Amino acid sequence: MFRATHTPPLSILLGDMFEKNPKKVAKHLGVTVATLKRWKAADHAPKAAMLALFYESRWGYSLLYTTAYNAETIARGLADSLQRTNDALRMRIARLEALGNFESANEPIWKAM
């Protein structure tokens, strides 16, 4: 998963933002414009602000998309695997049922299912 130490510098994150208006960016982050300017001068912000800006950047969108795609691929593979197992078990049951009817004590229960 994402580690905060690998975020781009604040200047790059702010440059990648669709919204360039400092007032709107500061409002989005829940800080004042003066605080945002101070962060710009230091080219660094607190972790929460850096993460918020990161996930609004193209890198954040890329990370989220890639993570979702990989999770979907794994889930699809698992579903396909379970379907193949289910099909194999159904074939085994059909084969065993075709061998003969030997009337076990609990057969009425199985016929009801």
Measured between alpha carbons, how far is 58 from 88 in angstroms, rounded to an integer?
A: 45
DSSP state of 7: P
Look at residue 97 in the predicted model and tell me its pLDDT.
81
Helix (H, G, I), strand (E, B) or coil at 97: helix
Q: Are 56 and 17 in contact (CB under 8 A)?
A: yes
pLDDT one-digit tens code per residue, 25-75: 999 999 999 999 999 999 889 999 999 999 889 988 999 999 999 999 999
43 sits in the region (left: phi over 0; alpha: psi -120 to 50; else beta) called left
Residue 1 has pLDDT above 50, yes or no: no
